[in-house]
Chains A and B, each alone.
Chain A
């Protein structure tokens, strides 16, 4: 039971059984405890400071009372203002103590909060990077981004505003109650009479508002998704006359959001005046009963004044609590998700004791390898394959035949279910990440470019490479010409802001990057698909030289790529059905021969 809810499993579920939600909460608490532990001492100090600060705050009304009761009579009797001055000095003193401690508290709490956030950001980021590709493929980048942005910010929000409010409210609550009872037991009890009502009312609000808040988040998420989708796909929307229907859907979602918001603000419209009502009724009760007691001389006017001041201090923070609940709730949800992510284990783990491999020649071996994605069907039933160092192998087959799986196993994005994949006789699972990536590099269709210059992006293949090496790599791959034709040459900004680079040019940069990395094994997965014919031809010419002294695995729909291969593998349903040099396969009568003929015909 508990295992099936591990990690991020609960993220998409609308209804979570009670036991599981307890489990999730304890997981969040563990993470929180873990984050707070290094700050134990600071938190102890913080507690001391806040207690002093609140004590000083609570002393003020009491001092006012003393001023009225003990400061005025001596003066009225003509015995001078000494007592009053002492008391006023005490008030100023208490105010200053409160100020100093309060500032210390805010700064200390802020520092702890920010330290925790930094630690959390670092942890989650590192963990995401550690998790295997299989996780990322299922989890999608959108969710990674919201974990590290909006979720962390939700926690920041709580630390920023809510935390201080809560601590102050709780301490004030108890402190004030105690002071009221100390000042006068009877009047104090009357003043505290509405307390149970207050607690019940707050509990009611907390339940209702958490439901309302969740509904708001859900509805706004739908508005956002619909909005972003229609804007990113506006071309299709307009070309297919989808606008009226879209408008209809949007207005419905928007109305739902409004509905949810209305519910939330109506709740606050009940809660805030409700607290005020309880407070005001209490004040009236204190005036009535306190007045009656004062009339009989049981309490002094000063006590009455102190009560009025205390009650104000008491109820004001309670109103702030409505803000706090929202912050608490979204931070709680965020913490739940983040702890889930941190609980995920990388599917491809680092070896506990990495094997040694100082140099690799690039000899690859699949030894009885079986593979399936998760619980899915076997993609590779049982594969034995030997690729000698320096060979260039083209892999051909229909979509879903298992070509890309082969590539992902060699670059260890996945581990085989059984069997071994070996580089120079060493099981890939025994190599640490750094070693493996030094020898095996894969270029995919995606060829992602990072924010930065073209030179930075090529340099990504070998950080710290001198500029000459970067230019050399670009020249070798045939990218130098288009790069120098750009406005800032190698220093042209690309990535998000510089959208001026075409898909084909991106691919050339990705090739140069891989070439600079200088691996023993190079895998090209559909890497030439977005090049137009002249560029593809250029890349292929370059590849002949580049691949001369290294092992290469080339996966392509287009048979043109096969021209440079020493060997062709035709894969069908995860099995190698044909294997041999291209010329021999073409002369035969198998699948590859037929494919090749169809391709030659298409060129005519």
Chain B
């Protein structure tokens, strides 16, 4: 189930993110093991070099400067230089070598995610909005990338640096070391608490932004309706209320952050004052050298970032765990519809529904029940029924976009579930009511299922679908259409989708109310051409209009999820009142005319 709206804090007993999912994803890093070792080693050496520089400074102040030893200055200075350069080089090695593994991990998971999603059936895609899937493929993967790439490394490094520096400080002069160690405690405690609240408030802002996006989307998509009724003001009020909500929450967020970040700066500064006080007293008593005091002040400031970022990194880890959970949730979904092993060598196109039942998971009432229908090779059957009678479901069963829950569908005697998916789907071609076009050339859109079709085949398909208008587009068949290209009208889109379906002369052609957006004259032309195609192919045609029904040899009337009548159009019209009510448009519209 989609869990985008679930707030793990709000729902008691909700799935707690665990390290397990994240730990599993790390297997994607395996090809990079060596590089990773290099970057970790570089990271540790880098910390060592960074900590050593202030110590060299101490030596300089206590040694050469303290004793007027000019000869000792140069080697120590050069040592500081070498250490400084080494630190920079080591950081460079770490960062440079990290890029490969981390981005490789992200890319590989995204590829796998996409592959899995393409293989999941319609029942899955019906439940998930593409936006939710997208956020897994983008936002969640970046979160994981950031944590595995930097967060995890910094988590270990910062803890080590904290321990190392504290040990050094204790070693140098324990009372000062103690002061520094104690000052780290409130920072750690507070940053942990801060992160929790900060994440909560950030989520709230995100939710509100989501609400705002919904309002914006409605205001954009529904602009015709809004303008038609002159209701901009009304829409604005809703928008403004949500926008002001974001404003309020964001201000609360600013206040919270400002208090925390200020605190983060005060503590080290006050610590610095303490170090100066205690240190100076110690120097005056000769318990401490001047150089040590200077080194102390530098090291104290060096600790601020590792300590302060602990909370941030832990929060990042928490988020990465949630993200990993969401990603593996998809990766672990097993495709319910997988192909069999059989292939039909010479398909004839004999389509049979044998006692077919279909019900949505968890639903008591079946959408289809006990459907028996025999479509002989070359025959065309029209499926007629009121809205919601299950027509579209029936057509989706043939190419196995969904699977029956009882009975079976056969093609030339083979259960469709025994055929390989490519074999089945090259025998069956479907044109859907809502034509789906992709952001690519017209040619690619039409040739979707037939990458090997020739220029003549494409032209023939376009002619059948009355879609030759595409030759007049600016770049002809190479014109890009769809979201990032030319926009086409509903009727034009339907005709292209039809051309796609008839290309390659499929043995079984399924038309799901494909002509609804065409005007009367174009519809007549398309029907004329389709008649020729359907003469050879087996056809299953969902129809709302009498004119479409006339394409078929026989008609099946679907009612309450089952086929109640099968027969020729004139016979049904004459003998079945329900059929007449569905299709005869002038039946009782005008009694006078009907009598005439």
Contact = CB atoms under 8 A, between A and B. Distances in A.
B519 to A, nearest CB: 4
Contacts of B182: none
A81 interface: yes
Contact of A560 (B228, B246, B273, B589): B589
| Interface size class of chain B, counting residues whose CB lies under 8 Å from the partner chain | 35 or more
A441 B114 contact: no
27 contacts: A60-B269, A68-B290, A72-B280, A72-B284, A103-B259, A122-B239, A133-B224, A141-B220, A229-B439, A233-B437, A238-B399, A239-B432, A247-B111, A261-B99, A273-B92, A280-B83, A284-B81, A288-B73, A288-B77, A291-B60, A295-B68, A305-B294, A411-B228, A447-B225, A450-B222, A510-B225, A533-B582
Contacts of A111: 251, 254
Contact of B519 (A113, A461, A557): A557
Contacts of A399: 489, 491, 519, 522
Contacts of A433: 230, 232
B84 A254 contact: no
Contacts of A121: 212, 239, 243
B281 A224 contact: no
A47 interface: no
Contacts of B212: 121, 148-149
A309 B56 contact: no
Given A533-B583, A599-B520, 12 more contacts: A75-B281, A99-B262, A118-B247, A129-B236, A136-B220, A229-B483, A265-B98, A277-B85, A436-B230, A461-B229, A559-B520, A598-B524
B276 A398 contact: no
B576 to A, nearest CB: 14
B426 interface: yes
Interface stretch (A33-41, A83-91, A334-342): A83-91
A573 interface: no
B26 interface: no
A239 B430 contact: yes
A226 B482 CA distance: 11
> 9 nearest interchain CB pairs?
A280-B84, A437-B230, A110-B254, A240-B449, A106-B258, A288-B77, A269-B95, A95-B269, A277-B88
A188 interface: no
A234 B118 CA distance: 7
Given A75-B280, A265-B103, A441-B229, A287 B224 contact: no
Interface string B507-522: 0000000001111111
Interface in B411-456: 421-422, 425-426, 428-430, 432, 436-439, 448-449, 451
Interface string B51-82: 00110110011001100101001101110110
A88 B273 contact: yes
A106 B257 contact: yes
A2 interface: no
B276 A87 contact: yes
Nearest to B205: A156
A543 B423 CA distance: 51
A103 B118 CA distance: 51
| Interface size class of chain A, counting residues whose CB lies under 8 Å from the partner chain | 35 or more
B225 to A, nearest CB: 4
B138 A444 contact: no
B221 A141 contact: yes
B283 interface: yes
B125 A234 contact: yes
Contacts of B89: 273, 277
A248 to B, nearest CB: 11
B459 interface: no
Interface in B93-147: 95-96, 98-100, 102-104, 106-107, 110-111, 114-115, 117-119, 121-122, 125, 130-131, 133-134, 137-138
A115 B246 CA distance: 11
B99 A266 contact: yes
B326 to A, nearest CB: 16
A595 interface: yes
Interface in B561-596: 570, 581-590
Contacts of A145: 213, 216-217, 220
B586 A560 contact: yes
A251 interface: yes
A96 interface: yes
Interface string A122-146: 1001101110010010001110110
B272 interface: yes
A258 to B, nearest CB: 4
B266 interface: yes
Contacts of A67: 276, 280
Interface in A429-450: 433-434, 436-438, 441-448, 450
A4 interface: no
Contacts of B99: 261-262, 265-266, 269
Nearest to A437: B230
Given A106-B254, A250-B111, A442 B228 contact: yes
Contact of A291 (B77, B255, B270, B284): B77
Contacts of B471: none
B546 A603 contact: yes
Nearest to A74: B284
A589 interface: no
Contact of A232 (B56, B227, B401, B436): B436
By CB atoms of chain A within 10 A, which of B70, B226, B276, B387 has the most?
A: B276
Interface in A419-475: 433-434, 436-438, 441-448, 450-451, 460-461, 463
A31 to B, nearest CB: 18
A126 B236 contact: yes
A492 interface: no
B266 A99 contact: yes
Contacts of B98: 265, 269
A257 B544 CA distance: 46
Contacts of B528: none
A563 B432 CA distance: 31
Contact of A96 (B60, B81, B87, B266): B266
A202 interface: no
Interface in A522-560: 529-530, 532-537, 540-541, 557-560
A236 interface: yes
A107 B276 contact: no
B96 A529 contact: no
A589 B4 CA distance: 62
Contact of B56 (A85, A287, A292): A287
Contact of A239 (B57, B401, B587): B401
A373 B226 CA distance: 21
Nearest to B235: A129
By CB atoms of chain A within 10 A, which of B53, B87, B280, B290 has the most?
A: B280
A197 interface: no
B25 to A, nearest CB: 17
B214 interface: yes
Nearest to A150: B213
A276 interface: yes
Given A129-B226, A227-B137, A463-B234, A309 B297 contact: yes
A377 to B, nearest CB: 13
A534 to B, nearest CB: 6
Interface string B472-490: 0000000000111001011
A156 B301 CA distance: 31
Contact of B426 (A241, A441, A534): A241
A321 interface: no
Contacts of B546: 602-604
Given A225-B439, A276-B88, A287-B57, A153 B522 contact: no
A602 B269 CA distance: 89
A541 B422 CA distance: 49
Nearest to B296: A305
Given A95-B270, A261-B103, A598-B520, A434 B216 contact: no
Contact of B114 (A220, A227, A398): A227
B96 to A, nearest CB: 4
